[in-house]
Structures are given as structure tokens and as C-alpha cells.
Structure 1
Amino acid sequence: MSLKRLGVIGCGGIADVVLTTLAKEIATPLAQVSLLVPTQFVGQARALLDRLGDKLAVSRSSHTDVASLLADNPDAVAECASHVAVHDYGPAILEAGRDLIVISIGSLSDEALYTRLAQAATTGGARLVLPAGALGGIDALSAARLSGLESVVYTGRKPPKAWKGTPAEKLLALDTIKEPVVFFEGSARMAATVYPFNANVAATLAIAGIGLDSTQVRLVADPGIERNVHEFAVRSACGDFAVKLEGRPSPANPKTSLLAGYSVARELINRAGGSVVI
């Protein structure tokens, strides 16, 4: 596994973190970095690539269709955009034999899409890669699954402003609540479906662990915090454990934890370097 030519879907906050970190951390520039964005964001994509320049890659380009991105022959493509991007571009990328690194993991709560991506990966001889994103402890959860999982319960706490633009607005007066309020309890599949831009972590836990329908989720609007707090508790045949992580929100999007971008960057740095940290 090596990385000389990289494709990235998106040019927003996560993509910025990923590419800026790569430019800083890799020993030698990549040969090519190609961005796939909607037409209205081509200027923003070019500005990002121009800012990072030769520290990032010898050659840099932006595209508005997946065929032209693939024509640049990326070794891997990192999705840093949205659930829609996974649906629209993921199968074609995998069928072309390119590994696809997905950060919008909540999109995989759609069983039909997940199956389609898995089939495309088999057809193309590629891998669908799911980084840990905003969570820690995924390695322990995946290992515990091999012993047999009894329960996985996730609690997501975010400031009220992080829930704006979601169905929580119809349930709560987000600008005036004074105490923490649990406004959702249900399965990870339901959480990722109803709150797709906030519950990617629930889907990550579920896929790594006991499944989308058996992983339990609680979502909380908490006016007493300024960071995104992710907690999960696991009971398994090999042991019980709990993980808590207080992530700083992305400056570009408070619904997203800043750590998500660094998680993708770590995956790419592992590919570009001579050693791998897991």
C-alpha cells in the first residue's frame, strides 16, 4: 500500500484539515492531488490547492465530475464532503479499483448503499476504508467484537448551536434551554438516518461493533459545554470498558468534530509513509 496520487472529494473544513496536515507531515510531496467538487466550489478548491502548493503535491487539479477525477489515476480517494457524495461517487471509485476512504460513515446506515459499495469494492479489487473519525477506542471495540459483544451504548453531547439545522430544532428551543436535554434515544441506524450530519460516530461504532440495529444511541443538547462530547460503554466477553472524548468543533462546521479531519489525515499519512501507526 502506497500513496503517490490522491483524490479528495470536497474542499471544505475537513478537506482543508486533511490536506494542510498532509502538506506539513509528509516527507516528500505527492505526485498529484485532485479535488472533486461541485461547479460552484471550483474557485474555493483552486484556492486551497494554491495555498498549499508544492509542499502538498507536484501537480494539483480540480474537477467537477468523477470520470475526470479518476482520469488522474489516484491511488486512493478520500471522501471529505457528505452522505450525498458517498452515494453519488463511491461505487464508481471502487469499481475503478481505487480505495475509498469514507468519513461520512453515517451514509452506510442505508443498507442498499452499503451493499452496493461492498459489491463495487469486490468488482474493482479495492477497499472501502472507514477511519475512526471523531472517536477513540475503535481498535478496542473491534477487538472485543471477536470475543462477543453484549451491549454498546453511545451518548453524544453537543452545544445547542451544533444541533441547529437538524430535527432537534422542532423538539427543543435551542436558543433558550438551560439544562442538558436528551432529545433522541434509539438505534444507531435511526440516529444516523435522522441526524446524518451529527451521528456519523454512532454509525462508526455500530459498524465496528454490534451492528446498526443493536447499538443504542442517546443524543443530548447541553448548554453547559462548548465541545462535542462522545461517550460509549461496552460490555463484552473479554471485558467491559468506557471511552470519553471531548472534541473541539470544526471552525468551519460546529456539527463536525475537528478530530474527524485528522483521522482521515492519519490514514493517508500511514499510506504515504514507510511505517504504519494503528
Structure 2
Amino acid sequence: MKIGIIGEGAIGRYVADKLREGGNGPHAILVRPARLSEPNDTGAARVSSVGNLPPDLDLMVDCAGHAALIDHGAAILERGIDLITVSLGALADAALEQRLTDAARAGGAQLHLASGAIGALDCMQAARVGGLTEVIYTGRKPPNGWRGSPAEDRIDLDGLTSATTHFDGTARQAATEYPKNANVAAAVAIAGMGFDATKARLIADPDVTANIHEIEAKGAFGSFTFRIEGKALPDNPRSSALAAMSVISAIERRRAAITT
């Protein structure tokens, strides 16, 4: 399988390194034009447009955030190349979702949504079949984990002495207002009741050191509660280690003769 990657950030580097460890490193890396002149010792072709990607790629992996999916996703799918993304929050934009859907159908390709920093989505998808009545996602991070987000304008991150909610609304609102922080809310919504029916709550908590994600779901199946405390990648405290691992897991499922 010939694989390309969008982005060379923390998640992109993790994915590229894991692919090389398995003996099948990336064949191309899609980057911003300004990065083309930087030294390239990756062994992969570095390009700045979808049109310049090698013609024989089987799969592209988006590791570069919402903007990359918006800018390149449709063109990749229209070329007939399958695409894995962790930028699930971008799909809160209904127009983008439709554009990607149309592109995938036109190209005979698929957009695969990596699970990212959360688990239990297979359980959620199964529960959806019987009917869900309530899904609540709660994201809890230390105050510094919300730097660069609307939380800075809503609460005093420096002066917090106890857990404080700075967002309480729908998953669509969370994904739209917090594009760098709410991919998990989007993943939960897509797996379950949808962006508008899924409730989301975002909390800054000075008493925690990890990023904590919780799902509460109720429906015809019964109920479940899921909680995970995620660590960041060593070279970027803003990038979830599990999100990067979920990309490799998605690639491995594509390669496997037997898969879950």
C-alpha cells in the first residue's frame, strides 16, 4: 500500500515514523508551499498541491487539522484516493460534509474517520441502531490545555481554583467554536446522535494534569459511561498521543485480511 501524509506536525511525524518502522514509509508528504524549500531527509516526495501527488497512491492520511481537510480533502477524494482524517470537527460544517461526500462519490473513494483521542465509538455505533435517547460528551483539561481557545475570553484561566465550565451546548457548537479542541466531541456526535442532538460540555480544571474525555449514553440498549485520561505526544503537549495512534490503527485495519 502506497501512503501519503498531509502535514509534518507532531501527529504527522508520529505516523511517518511508525510507517517507516513497519518497512513501508510514506511515499509523499503534502505541505504548505513555504516548506518545499526546507531540507528533506524523509525519503518521501514533498509536494504542495494535490495535483502533484504521485499518481499511484492508495491512501492519504490527514494529520494537519481542519484547514488541511477543507483545502485538500475534496480534491484527494475526487482523484479516487481514499483519505483518513482525524479532523472530525471540520464536519460540523454541513456544506463541507456535503462537498466531501460528493467528491468521494465522484472519485469512487472513501473518507475514513479515525477515532482520535476517544474510545467506545464502536459501542456507540451499535447502540445507535436500536435508538439513542441521550449522549453527553464532557471534555476536561488543565487550564493551559485551553490556551488559544475561546475559553481565554470566557474565564480566568490563570486564576482558577476549581473546575469551571466554559462551554455548555451542542457538539456542533463546540466543534465550530473550538476547532482545535473539540474533535472528540465531533467523533462522539458522528458515531451517535449527530452534531445537533449530542450535548457537549468543556471544563477547565486546575486539579487535573491529563486531558480527560467522558461519554454518557442512554438508549434502547441501556446505558454506558466511558472515561479516558489521555497523554499528549512528547514533542507537542497539544497533540493527543491516542489520536496519532488511532491513525496507525486505521491504516492497519485497511491492510488486514481480518479486521474488527
TM class, shorter-length: over 0.9
Structure-2 separation of matches of 1:242 and 1:44: 47
In the alignment, residue 37 of structure 1 is paired with which amino acid?
A: V
Instruction: Compare 71-80 and 184-193 and name the one that shifted more.
Output: 71-80
Shift of 1:274: 4.1
- Go from structure 1 to structure 2 and tell me whether the alpha carbon gap of 1:135 and 1:44 turns closer, same or farther (over 3 Å shift): farther
Contact 2:29 2:45 in 1 (8 A): yes
Name 1:40's counterpart in structure 2.
34
CA 1:273/1:33 → structure 2, altered by over 3 Å: closer, same or farther?
A: farther
Is the Cα contact below 8 Å between 1:90 and 1:117 reproduced in 2? yes
Q: Secondary structure at 1:90's aligned position in 2?
A: helix
Which amino acid in structure 2 is aligned with residue 238 of structure 1? Answer: F
Q: Which amino acid aligns with 2:71?
A: D
Maintained 8 Å contact 1:34/1:72: no
1:114 and 2:109 aligned: no
- 8 Å contact 2:30–2:48 — kept in the other structure? yes
* 8 A Cα contact 2:139 2:214, kept in partner: yes
* 1:185 match: secondary structure: strand
Q: Give the alignment partner of residue 202 of structure 1, picking from 185, 201, 205.
A: 185
Q: CA 1:20–1:274 in 2, change beyond 3 Å: closer, same or farther?
A: farther
Deviates more, 1:226-235 or 1:245-254: 245-254
Partner of 2:216: 233
Contact 1:188–1:203 (Cα < 8 Å) also in 2: yes
Q: Which amino acid aligns with 2:228?
A: L
1:150 & 1:207 partners in 2: Cα distance? 15
2:48: which partner in 1? 64
What is the CA distance between 1:40 and its match in structure 2? 2.9
Match of 1:164 in 2: 147
Task: Report the TM-score when normalising by structure 1.
Answer: 0.89
Identity over aligned residues, as a percent?
42
Matched, 1:8 2:2: no
Paired position in structure 2 for 1:102: 85
Q: Secondary structure at the match of 1:229?
A: strand
| Amino acid corresponding to residue 62 of structure 1 in structure 2 | R
1:241: Cα distance to partner? Answer: 0.4
Asked whether the 8 Å contact 2:27–2:45 carries over to 1, the reply is yes
Give 1:102 shift: 1.2
Distance 1:43 1:142 in 2: 44
Checking the alignment, whether the CA contact within 8 Å between 1:198 and 1:256 is kept in structure 2 is no
Letter in 1 for 2:27: V
Question: TM-score normalised to the size of structure 2?
Answer: 0.95
Q: Could you report, residue by residue, the CA deviation over 1:81-139 in whole angstroms, capped at 9, with x for unpaired residues?
A: 01111111000111111111111110000000000101111111111100111001000
Stretches of structure 1 that go unaligned for 5 or more consecutive residues are 51-59
Structure 1 stretch displaced more, 88-97 or 243-252? 243-252
Which residue is equivalent to 2:72?
89
Counterparts in 2 of 1:43 and 1:20: CA distance versus 1, 3 Å? farther
Alignment pair present for 1:254 and 2:248: no
Aligned counterparts of 1:198 and 1:252: Cα–Cα separation in 2 = 18
CA distance in 1, matches of 2:93, 2:246: 23
For these two proteins, the number of residue pairs brought into alignment is: 260
Please report how far the alpha carbon of residue 224 of structure 1 lies from its aligned counterpart in structure 2 after TM superposition. 1.0
Give the SS at the match of 1:146.
Answer: helix
What is aligned with 1:56?
none
Shift, 1:255, TM fit = 3.3
Q: 1:163 to 1:209 in 2, by over 3 A?
A: same
Q: 1:29 maps to which residue?
A: 24
Q: Structure 1 CA distance, aligned partners of 2:191 and 2:104?
A: 18
1:249: Cα distance to partner?
Answer: 1.9
How much does 1:20 deviate? 1.6
Whole-Å separation in 2 of the counterparts to 1:137 and 1:128:
20
Deviation at 1:45, TM superposition (A): 7.8
Between the aligned partners of 1:45 and 1:8, the Cα distance in structure 2 is: 17
Report the equivalent of 1:148: 131
> Could you tell me how far 1:43 is from its partner in structure 2?
6.0
